[in-house]
Amino acid sequence: MKELEDHAHSQRVLLSSDAMRHLIAMSTNEDNRMDFLDRVILTGKGSYPSEDGWVVLNLSRMNEVCEKVTSSHSVTGAPLQPVSVVEGLEVPELANVPTGVGSLAEAILSGNIVAAFAMIENRPMIALADATVDLDAAYRLKRGLVVIDSSVSEMLKENIARLTSEQIEAVIHALTSAIDGTYTDEQSAVKTAIMKAVKIVV
């Protein structure tokens, strides 16, 4: 997963955690997964505008891009069944993936609020939880602690290296504040938490 995400970053593409789950569900053959990702990136870059130089692929965009790619190419490894519905969007059942496979944490640390908001899309609290776990893993790695079942992307390592321990802890605290009950609307809570976190790092 880390290799896939690092490859996407090298092409200036940010994948939400749900987009990564969808990608894995669509490309069940690991040998052809990188090739499939390349076609997804090429199609995505031709379909969506960039935000601060980055193209964001969230779940709905990944679903649309995968449909375009699979309709124009034969893909080894059929989509997983059954189809599930996420906020009215029919997608193959999302695959289980380890932490470190969504770019929300990277978008937050680089101060890209527009990209971060695009990545929370259908399941904002899940996206925020994934980002918080990713940041926690990167922080533990920075402190020389053992990180189990996690792969930290190169981009996240670079972004976290320039921050102090106090800043990282403050970012994690800002993200977890989304569940303090202040906001009853999930989107508002998560967007506010992201803005608080970005303010710490820019």
pLDDT in tens, 37-77: 999 999 999 999 998 889 999 989 999 999 898 887 554 44
Q: Report the pLDDT value the prediction gives residue 102, as an integer from 0 to 100.
A: 61
Its domain, for residue 50, covers 2-92
Q: Report the pLDDT value the prediction gives residue 82, as an integer from 0 to 100.
A: 36
Same domain, 85 and 34: yes
Phi/psi region, residue 123 (left: phi>0; alpha: psi -120 to 50; beta: rest), is beta
Amino acid identity, position 175: L
Q: Report the pLDDT value the prediction gives residue 76, as an integer from 0 to 100.
A: 42
Same domain, 73 and 114: no
CA atoms within 13 A on the CB side of 171: 31
| 100: in domain | no
The two tokens of residue 54 are 């980055």
| Averaged confidence pLDDT in the chain | 82
Same domain, 88 and 111: no
Residue 132 has pLDDT above 70, yes or no: yes
Q: Categorize the per-residue pLDDT at 183 as very low, low, confident or very high, splitting at 50, 70 and 90.
A: confident
Same domain, 125 and 56: no
Q: Give bridge partners of residue 54 from the DSSP assignment.
A: 51
